[in-house]
Structure formats: C-alpha cells, structure tokens
A and B are shown apart, each in its own frame.
Chain A
C-alpha cells in the first residue's frame, strides 16, 4: 500500500515538473514586448565600413553634375559638432538627435531614387539607405530606444535644406562621421567601466 502510494507520488512529481518546464517554454515564447535584446555591437568598424561606403557615394555624386539635380530641396540634419556643446548633452538628447537625423537622411536619400536616373548612382543610394537601416539596428543593440520623430517634433533649427545630391551625400557622410560615431563610441553599454 505504501509502496503504491510512493510510486504514485513520484509519478505526479515527475509529471508536474514536466508541465512546469513546458509552461516556462511557452511563456518565453509568448513573452510580450521587445524580442530578446541583441548583443551590443560596440565595434566601430561596422560604422567605419558604412562611412567608407558613404565616402564613395559622395565622391561619385560630386562628379555628377547634370543628372543629379533635385527639384525640391530636401530637409537634412545639421552635422556640425562642437565638442564642448556635445559633451554637455546627455545620452538621450544625443540619441534623439542622431535618430532624427538618420530619419531625415533616410527620407531624403530615398526620395533621390525618383530623381536620379543613373544606375551607378542608384547603387550608391541603395547602399546608403541600407546602411542607415543598419545603423538603426546598431543603435537598438546598444539599448537605445527607437525614436521616430513626428513632424512637429523636429526642431527646425537643427535642419537645413540641400538642393543637390552631392550636398546631400556630403551631409550624409558628415553626419555619420560625426554625431553617429560619437554616439556609438560613447555608448554606455560599450564602456568597460560602466
């Protein structure tokens, strides 16, 4: 009698353990919210790669004179960096600034596709758009929240307009070299002593 009781108890214990494990697995799958965080991409060589590509695009656009005219001036972010001023800003401000600028650039470069006919330049445009998206991924990996600026949220002071593709790509590369890189290089996740 006691033996059968003991056996029954062990059986139930095993079954409950199995059910518990199953429950955990299911909850893990259905966990709401963001997916599991990416591994932080702290290596700046990724960004350097994007910068090199942007440099090539800018060089290609510079020689393009006629076919690179755009009708409507495009809104682009400011790229200037004053180290003193920059240091005074906190992380979120910097992140917002970067993400706003990237959003603007993305919009501007994407709109170039319709204006520019040359296939070679098209490849540069596509590469740039891809890179901007990748930078967004990198930011996300550094635990920087996505930020999509609303139309009202953009500070006009921080933007200006360009009227040529070469200018646009110049802005693009300067932006990557400056603000984006500063943000990535000083991300708290990547700091060794954070």
Chain B
C-alpha cells in the first residue's frame, strides 16, 4: 500500500514537474483567466480533450468545497455532474472542475450550485474558449538585407486548427518603444525597419482567429534575442561620393596649375632685388657701390641709353631770307614720292585734272591778290629750280631751293596750254599743279635719282607725278650746328608737310639724293592756292 502510494505520489510529482516545465503551466493559465475572463465561471480548454472550469470563492464565506455542485449539460442531452476540486490556499481558493467528455460546436450549459442554490451559470461553446500554449521554438535570425530580422516559430500541435491560428509578435530594442505585429496563416515574420547593430528581444503568442474557433491569447513565449547586422555604406552612395570628390580634386588641381604663378605671387610675393641690374654688386663687392662702379666703368653701363633722338630744335626759315633768284623759268621740282604713290597718282589723274582746272580758275579769281603778293617768291623759286635742273653746276650759285622735299608751288598763270614744249617752263609756271603732279609713269624712275627732266617730261600729261627731288650742292644758309635734324616744311596752305631730315646729310650734298617724305594728299593742296609762305629748309 505504501509503495503504491509512494509511486502514485512520485508520478504525481513528476507530472507536476512536467506541467511546470511546459510553456505555460496550468496555474498560470488559471491565473491569467482569472484576470481576463469577466464571467463568473471561467472555462478554458487547452488540450481539446478536456475542459477546465473554475470559480473563485466568495470572500465573505469561509466555505468548504463540499458545498459546491457543478453541473453541465450539452444541448439535447441530460445534465451531468462534475467533481469539484480546490486550488490554492485558504482565502484565495479556486474551485474547479474538469470535464472529461467534451463536444464541440454545441452549446454547453454550466451551473454552480452552492448549498442547493444556483450560484453561477454559464452557457458556452467549447470551441470558443481555447487557451493554447505559447508557440515553441521561436528563432530570430538575420537576413541578407540590412535592418531586418526573420522570426520563426512552431505552431501549436493541434489537429484541424492549424489554419485558424493567429499570432502576435512583440519586439523591443533598448531605447525604443515596444512594437507588435499580428500574423495570420503563417508561422514566420520578417521584422523590417530595425536599427542596425542592435539587440532585439522578441516574443510570440498565439490565439485562435475567431471565425471557426475562438479563445484567449496565450501567454508570451520566452524572449529570444537577435542582433541586427551593422550598417554598411550603401555602395551607390559611396561610389557617388568618390566620383564627386575626384572631380572636385581635379578641378582644384587644374585651377591651381593654371594660375599657380598668380597664386604664388599672391601668397609669396617676390621681393624685388636690384641684383639683376647690378651684376656682382652684392655678391662680389658686398654692396660697396664705389668699388663696383670702379670695376664696371667703361663697360656695360646699366643705365639705359635712350636710342631716341634728342629733341631737335626746329628752325623755321622763311623765303625772305633766301638768296638771289634764279632764272624765272625754274620750277620747283618735286621730290620723288614713294613708289607707292605713283599708282595712286595715276588713279587720281582724272580727278586731278578737274581739280587742276578748278584750282586754276580759283587761283585766278580768288587768290589773285594773294598771289600777287608773293609772285616774286613763287616765280623766283621755280626759276631757281629750273635753273638748277638745267644747269646742275649752277647749283652752287643758287642759294635757294636746296631742299629735296616734296612741296607744292602754285602760281597764277593757269590758262596756258600744256603741249607747248617751249612753254614748258611757262606751262609749269602757269599750270604748276599739272606740271608738278603730272607724270607719265616715270615717277618711279624719277624717284631714284634727281631728275628735273622728269618734270619737263611729265608736263603735259596732266597726271600726278611724284617728282624727284634734287640736291643742291650749295646752300647759303647752313644749319646752326652739326647733327641737327631739320624738318622740311612745305606749306600748301592746307597742310603742313614735315619731314625730318638729318643735318648730317649736309655734307653729302651733291652726291646723292635723299628722299624723305611721302607723297601727301595732293588734292587738297591742289585746290588751295598757295597762300602761305613756302618754307624751305636746307641742309
């Protein structure tokens, strides 16, 4: 007997141990239902093979459990009695009853009688009071993706009800509020939007979905920990950042290299040193200028010599100071203009003719008075030139018209014919413009040497000519000093022609011809009669 009792006790103890090691112990379920269920008779089924109903004793009565009677009746059946048992200590006792024969999908009526009187009653359907164990084997694993965790679990091993389960997953991380998610028809869940590199605590619980079966939420499963992988840089962002930084570096390098001199000057300006101009001053003579001067005298003078000409004084001589006149038929030749002017003169030949005519008439009318003021000058000049042209040796006599410049002389006689050979002088006198500016294409040749004959040749052509200048072997008035640069000024009344001449050429008189100035615009000069003085300078 004692052995049997001992074995029974041992078995009971083992059973209790097993029950306690289950996901949720019976007591805890009772506790939970005590809290959740508002009905007086609280019932639940966990194994689908029995129904547990219990009620708590009233506080006021210290009653024994023998007073209670518990009856249950299925629809269309007779009522049955269930044995009442006690749970808990005095003062907090629970009376419970376990129904062994259970039927689903039928109404069940329960009644608790106390002392013959009905205390509680309840009508329920067992398929609506399911209280399951929490899910087992909850696992949390990392996924390939960032900020995610995979949670999986095993469903409760209930036949016919796998597709009626509903799960709730709860997870929390330090510093964040708890989050819950409902899962239906599946035993896995992917948690998204998690913090990287964090430890998450996950729970799962189960409940019937309420359509065909219903019940209470199970207890939370034991927490399972999972750590999210540390965040790594999005490769695309990394590549873009690298590319942009590379571009910026290249740009800055380019700017630096292209402006490096400028930047260097700004950042590290040169201190000017006179070493360049004074070679050896600082290195050899250590700044002793006197010594350095002594060694350097006569050799390269660092001071720049101006290669420009010294300002030359300008002497303006009038005709009045000129010497005795030459024969009257001297006409003033014109120095040769540049060959460039020759074609130009040809082009203007037609216009020149007209201009000449106009000028002649004008010269006749307007400048008559003015002309007569200095007819002697013009005549005299031309005569001088003429004489010189014909008799070059007589140049020594002439003290006038020794310039070799291009100049224009006009006289009043403008109505004479042009073809007269004899009247070449006259022609030239009378049609000075024409004569002076006429050429037959020999201007180029005339430019090369003094040729008064060209003047005669060209007289009648009515063309512009660039006439050569000629030199005078003698000249009466000499420059004031050696090395003076003279400027020959030919005043046509409109423009002044200046031509620099070197006074050093004075000695070269009679040898060669120098042609200095260019052929100016003669049209203007043609139109205007010579009103001013004809100024010559000799050299």
- B375 interface residue, CB < 8 Å from A? no
- B18 interface residue, CB < 8 Å from A? no
Are A177 and B212 in contact, CB atoms less than 8 angstroms apart?
yes
How far in angstroms is the closest Cβ of chain A from B211?
5
- Which among A51, A79, A181, A182 is the interface contact of B106 at CB below 8 angstroms? A79
- Which among A170, A175, A181, A185 is the interface contact of B107 at CB below 8 angstroms? A170
From residue 165 to 194 of chain A, which have CB atoms closer than 8 A to chain B? Answer: 170, 174-175, 177-179, 181-182, 185-186
Are B211 and A80 in contact, CB atoms less than 8 angstroms apart?
no
How far in angstroms is the closest Cβ of chain A from B165?
13
Given contacts A48-B212, A174-B125, A181-B212, contact A79 B105 (CB under 8 A): yes
Are B105 and A178 in contact, CB atoms less than 8 angstroms apart?
yes
Are B103 and A80 in contact, CB atoms less than 8 angstroms apart?
yes
Given contacts A48-B212, A160-B76, contact A82 B160 (CB under 8 A): no
How far in angstroms is the closest Cβ of chain B from A184?
11
How far is B74's CA from A62's CA once the two chains are assembled, in angstroms? 19
- A81 interface residue, CB < 8 Å from B? yes
How far is B278's CA from A135's CA once the two chains are assembled, in angstroms? 119
- How many residues in A have their beta carbons less than 8 Å from beta carbons of B? 21
How far is B105's CA from A170's CA once the two chains are assembled, in angstroms? 10
Are B159 and A80 in contact, CB atoms less than 8 angstroms apart?
no
CB-defined contacts of A48 to chain B, threshold 8 Å: 211-212
- Helix, strand, loop or mixed for chain B's interface? loop
Which of the listed residues A51, A80, A177 has the most CB atoms from chain B within 10 Å of its own CB? Answer: A80
Are A81 and B104 in contact, CB atoms less than 8 angstroms apart?
yes
- A83 interface residue, CB < 8 Å from B? yes
Q: For chain B, give the interface size range.
A: 10 to 19
Are A78 and B212 in contact, CB atoms less than 8 angstroms apart?
no
How far is B104's CA from A186's CA once the two chains are assembled, in angstroms? 17
From residue 98 to 150 of chain B, which have CB atoms closer than 8 A to chain A? Answer: 102-107, 125, 127
How far in angstroms is the closest Cβ of chain A from B284?
109
Are B105 and A51 in contact, CB atoms less than 8 angstroms apart?
no
- B75 interface residue, CB < 8 Å from A? yes
How far is B211's CA from A179's CA once the two chains are assembled, in angstroms? 14
Are B160 and A178 in contact, CB atoms less than 8 angstroms apart?
no
How far is B162's CA from A186's CA once the two chains are assembled, in angstroms? 12
CB-defined contacts of A170 to chain B, threshold 8 Å: 107
Are A178 and B104 in contact, CB atoms less than 8 angstroms apart?
yes
Are B160 and A80 in contact, CB atoms less than 8 angstroms apart?
no
How far in angstroms is the closest Cβ of chain B from A193?
14
- B181 interface residue, CB < 8 Å from A? no
From residue 136 to 179 of chain B, which have CB atoms closer than 8 A to chain A? Answer: 159-160, 163
Are A182 and B127 in contact, CB atoms less than 8 angstroms apart?
no
- B48 interface residue, CB < 8 Å from A? yes
- Helix, strand, loop or mixed for chain A's interface? helix
Are B106 and A80 in contact, CB atoms less than 8 angstroms apart?
yes
How far is B213's CA from A44's CA once the two chains are assembled, in angstroms? 13
From residue 48 to 84 of chain A, which have CB atoms closer than 8 A to chain B? Answer: 48, 51-52, 78-83
Are B48 and A178 in contact, CB atoms less than 8 angstroms apart?
no
Are A186 and B160 in contact, CB atoms less than 8 angstroms apart?
yes
How far in angstroms is the closest Cβ of chain B from A82?
6
Interface string of B67-85 (1 = CB under 8 A from A): 0000000111000000000
CB-defined contacts of B159 to chain A, threshold 8 Å: 83
Are B160 and A179 in contact, CB atoms less than 8 angstroms apart?
no
CB-defined contacts of A186 to chain B, threshold 8 Å: 160
How far is B104's CA from A67's CA once the two chains are assembled, in angstroms? 30
CB-defined contacts of B212 to chain A, threshold 8 Å: 48, 51, 177, 181
Are B76 and A78 in contact, CB atoms less than 8 angstroms apart?
yes
How far is B75's CA from A81's CA once the two chains are assembled, in angstroms? 12
Are B127 and A177 in contact, CB atoms less than 8 angstroms apart?
yes
How far is B319's CA from A173's CA once the two chains are assembled, in angstroms? 148
- Which among B48, B105, B163, B213 is the interface contact of A80 at CB below 8 angstroms? B105
- Which among B48, B102, B105 is the interface contact of A174 at CB below 8 angstroms? B105
Are A52 and B211 in contact, CB atoms less than 8 angstroms apart?
yes
CB-defined contacts of B106 to chain A, threshold 8 Å: 78-81, 174
From residue 2 to 49 of chain A, which have CB atoms closer than 8 A to chain B? Answer: 44, 48
- Which among A44, A52, A160, A177 is the interface contact of B105 at CB below 8 angstroms? A177
CB-defined contacts of B75 to chain A, threshold 8 Å: 80
Are B76 and A83 in contact, CB atoms less than 8 angstroms apart?
no
CB-defined contacts of B127 to chain A, threshold 8 Å: 177-178
CB-defined contacts of A81 to chain B, threshold 8 Å: 103-106
How far in angstroms is the closest Cβ of chain B from A84?
9
How far is B76's CA from A160's CA once the two chains are assembled, in angstroms? 8
Nearest chain B residue, comparing its CB with the CB of A176: B212
CB-defined contacts of B102 to chain A, threshold 8 Å: 82
How far is B85's CA from A53's CA once the two chains are assembled, in angstroms? 41
How far in angstroms is the closest Cβ of chain A from B481?
130
CB-defined contacts of B211 to chain A, threshold 8 Å: 48, 51-52
How far in angstroms is the closest Cβ of chain A from B319?
133
How far is B161's CA from A185's CA once the two chains are assembled, in angstroms? 9
CB-defined contacts of B74 to chain A, threshold 8 Å: 80
How far is B106's CA from A72's CA once the two chains are assembled, in angstroms? 22
CB-defined contacts of A181 to chain B, threshold 8 Å: 212
CB-defined contacts of A175 to chain B, threshold 8 Å: 105
CB-defined contacts of A179 to chain B, threshold 8 Å: 105
Interface string of B393-410 (1 = CB under 8 A from A): 000000000000000000
The 11 sampled A-B contact pairs (Cβ below 8 Å) are A48-B211, A80-B74, A80-B75, A81-B106, A83-B48, A83-B104, A83-B160, A174-B125, A177-B105, A182-B160, A185-B160
| Known A52-B211, A185-B160; further 18 A-B contacts with Cβ < 8 A | A44-B163, A78-B106, A79-B106, A80-B74, A80-B75, A80-B103, A80-B105, A81-B103, A81-B106, A82-B102, A170-B107, A174-B106, A174-B107, A177-B105, A177-B127, A177-B212, A178-B127, A182-B160
